[in-house]
Amino acid sequence: MDFELNDDQRAILEAVETLLEQRAGAARAVALASKGDYDAELEAALANAGFTDMALSEETGLLEAALVVEAVARAGGLAAIGAAALVAPHCAGRALPGPIALASAGERGPVRFGAHARTLLVAAADEARAVRVQPGDAETVASNFGYPMGRVRTDGGESLGAGSGARLRSAWRLALAAEATGTMRSALHITVEYLKQRRQFGHPIGSFQAVQHRLAECAVLVEGSRWLTYEAAWRGATAEASATAAAYALAAAHRVFSETHQLSGSIGFTREHDLHVFSMRLQALRLELDGVGGHQRALTRSRWTTA
Amino acid sequence: MNARFGDAEEAFRDEVRRFLEAHRDLDGFFVQDSRWDAVKAFFRALGERGWLSLAWPEAVGGLGRSPIHEYILWDECAYARAARPPLGAGVVAKTLIRYGSAAQKARWLPGIRSGELHFSLGYSEPEAGSDLASVRTRAERHGDTYRVSGEKCWTSYARHSDYLWCLCRTGEPGSRGRGLSILIVDLHAPGVKVGLLPTLDGEALHEVLLDDVSVPVEQRVGPENGAWTLMAEALADERHVQFPPARLRRDLDDVVAWARRHGLERDPRVRRTLADLAVGVREAEVLGLRVLETLVKGRSGVVEAAANKVFQTLLCQKIARAALDFGAPESLVAGNPVEFLWRQSMWETIGGGTSEIMLGVVAKQELRLAGRS
């Protein structure tokens, strides 16, 4: 047993963090989101540097891909890297033209990155389908949750074979857990740093025990999400492990959202403070694949139902 | 026990409802800042009927009615999403009535009563939110004027208001709550700068920068260094209208309507959540009436009001969150009523005294838990 990242994994993480420092961040996310834009440059830079191929390469796999997806979320990157680095490789066994949006068959609601996607990966009952889409095929939907959204048509496309539907859903859950983890880490980090500095009643707010307990509980939840995500990636995104990670992380996301906003007070409600860049996204992530309830049902199905 | 209002009060409720029919399109409750002109016109219409001074004594131009009438008025306005009670007619007027000089009453009350004059609350600062005793905005006395310098932030409606009800330090630095005074600062005076702080509900709060602003001594309300008692009493005056429970009933009605529109109403999980929330709304209404009773009977009610605010604002967030938790991505579309409620409701557990401050009141005053010295 060994829960430490190895040298290669640490090097990958450092390299992607260096790239993200230059090409992502809260300020860039705010600027892009205000126009409903997608960060195509970031996606291209990550792809060119090989960060979206981790799951397809001989030397690396889903765990390295999950580390990349988490890092992009932590940096507020506005690109569909979960779909590119985790979902497409695991489901289709190859890279697909990005941006890639994910949808369930028959989905009528808006999906993340729907209006910018070139490929739509559709989860039907047994199979997944890859639908090539052109700009303008989807209807752009305005949203306040930090991601560009679009309403897509989920019919047609190329079948990825029997069993690909289940692989798509599992990898999608793994990607959601990784994204939620990275996003929560940043929301919590911003809050902790602010509370170390803001003083009330003669002391930094973060020195009050009642506040410390709430922040520490969030830290426990974020760490739990992180390790369940890594474990699910290490296990190859099995249905059960992915559903477990997603059920935990997306439930934690609500708690982290509420606590970081409440403890930040008024400044957290203003747009000048970066918390919202991360916190609002958590709510969008919470709705995919039927939310926490959907992940819980997937978990019980995979563990106790014999097909 | 009697959980019903009297006939005269119910007749007043009917009158308010008929009045609100004519303002059905106002919808200013949540967007009072961006729809200020319409909201101000509404306040003037209330003023014409004397409804901004319902519970003021008749001697100062009020109607001399009971706080129950105020409660009914603002509860109905909340359900109709019309507007929130203006600060001037509440905190400012009631404090002036209690502590103001005859000249101050004559100068401010008529404009407040008619809906013409508006005030913003200048309490919070970058370094003083929950801890108001640490306010730093300095008011130095020079003969007949104070020179005021400092920074107020997270102030509602400041760009529209005429005056700032401004908490200032007149005592020594470090004098905490013993060295604070209330000054009425003209927001159009030289040295005042109002900036916008856009917020997550699409509205804005404000920062108010005060740079050596000259304020005549006759604009100080109450004794010098005497703001602390006066503020506590003013807060108590408004506890029955601070968070009208009909807002919650309306929130839930809107969520139910949304669930119906999106075909979710038959889902047993949705129905169970809605039933839970309906219980909560009823509880909020009962708690709200208990707070009102403390005021009518002249009891303190500080603990009841604090507990009530915690319960109501958390419920408000639960109602808004439920719609998003039903799991329909449709709820993410900008401008739909449930996603707006969700963003807006984030503010309610913070503005007007955070839940943590309210819980502290309950812990210390009801449970008698000791503070740290």
Residue A104 lies in a domain: no
Q: Least CB-CB distance to B346: which of A149, A269, A294?
A: A269
Taking each helix axis from N to C terminus, what angle separates A209-234 and A62-74, rounded to the nearest 10 degrees?
150
Tell me the two tokens of residue B192.
Answer: 């005042």
Q: What is the pTM of this model?
A: 0.94
**Mean pLDDT, range A83-108, rounded to an integer:** 95
Q: Is the pLDDT of residue A94 over 70?
A: yes
Q: Which CATH number fits domain B119-225: 3.20.20.140, 3.40.1260.20, 2.40.110.10, 2.60.40.10?
A: 2.40.110.10
What is residue B157's predicted lDDT score, i.e. its pLDDT? 95
Tell me the two tokens of residue A91.
Answer: 């489901």
Candidates A255, A270, A272, A279: best to mutate against B (most CBs of B within 10 A) is A270
Residue A248 lies in a domain: yes
What is residue B126's predicted lDDT score, i.e. its pLDDT? 87
Q: What is the distance, to the nearest Å, from the Cα of residue A110 to the centroid of all Cα atoms in its chain? A: 17
Question: CB under 8 Å to A49, separation ≥6 — which residues?
Answer: A15, A16, A19
Element (H, E) at A101: strand A100-104
- Asked if B243 reaches chain A (Cβ–Cβ under 8 Å), the answer is no
Q: Report chain A's mean pLDDT, rounded to a whole number.
A: 95
Comparing alpha-carbon positions, the chain A residue that sits nearest to B318 is A258
Closest CA relative to residue A29, chosen from A167, A202, A195, A145: A145
Residue A235 lies in a domain: yes
Could you list the residue range(s) of the whole structural domain that residue A225 is in? 167-304
Is B238 one of the catalytic residues? yes
Interchain CB distance below 8 Å, A200 and B324: no
In CATH, what number is assigned to the domain containing residue A198?
1.20.140.10
Candidates B123, B325, B332: best to mutate against A (most CBs of A within 10 A) is B332
Interchain CB distance below 8 Å, B327 and A144: no
CATH class of the domain comprising B7-85: mainly alpha
- Asked if A91 reaches chain B (Cβ–Cβ under 8 Å), the answer is no
Smallest Cα distance from B255 to chain A, Å? 17
Measured distance CA(B181)–CA(B228) in Å, rounded? 8
Residue A281 lies in a domain: yes
Residue A192 lies in a domain: yes
What is residue B182's predicted lDDT score, i.e. its pLDDT? 97
Per the structure, the count of domains in chain A is 1
Q: Where are the domains of chain B?
A: 7-85, 119-225, 239-366
Encode burial over B13-24: b for 16+ CB neighbours within 10 A, e otherwise: beebeebbeebe
Q: Is the pLDDT of residue B228 over 70?
A: yes
Q: What is the pLDDT of residues B280-334, one digit of tens each?
A: 999 999 999 999 999 999 888 889 999 999 999 999 999 999 988 886 788 899 9
**Mean pLDDT, range A5-19, rounded to an integer:** 96
Q: What is the three-state SS of A237-301? A: CCHHHHHHHHHHHHHHHHHHHHHHHHHHHHHHHECCCCHHHHHHHHHHHHCHHHHHHHHHHHHHH
Q: Least CB-CB distance to A287: which of B153, B317, B324?
A: B324
Residue A219 lies in a domain: yes
Interchain CB distance below 8 Å, B332 and A254: no
Q: What is the pLDDT of residues A223-277, one digit of tens each?
A: 999 999 999 999 999 999 999 999 999 999 999 999 999 999 999 999 999 999 9
- Asked if A284 reaches chain B (Cβ–Cβ under 8 Å), the answer is yes
Q: Least CB-CB distance to A291: which of B198, B325, B334?
A: B325
The answer to whether the beta carbons of residues B339 and B345 sit under 8 Å apart is no
Tell me which of B238, B285, B304, B348 is the catalytic residue: B238
Please state which CATH number belongs to domain B239-366: 1.20.140.10
Selected residues 233-262 of chain A with any CB under 8 Å from a CB in chain B: 254, 258, 261-262
Tell me the two tokens of residue B109.
Answer: 């009350």
**ipTM for the predicted complex:** 0.91
Comparing alpha-carbon positions, the chain A residue that sits nearest to B340 is A144
Tell me how many degrees the CA angle B94-B196-B212 measures, rounded to the nearest 5.
Answer: 70
Closest CA relative to residue A277, chosen from A290, A264, A288: A264
Measured distance CA(B167)–CA(B150) in Å, rounded? 10
What is residue A69's predicted lDDT score, i.e. its pLDDT? 98
Quick check: bond before A99 cis, omega within 30? yes
Least-confidence region, from A238-247, B28-37, B213-222: B28-37
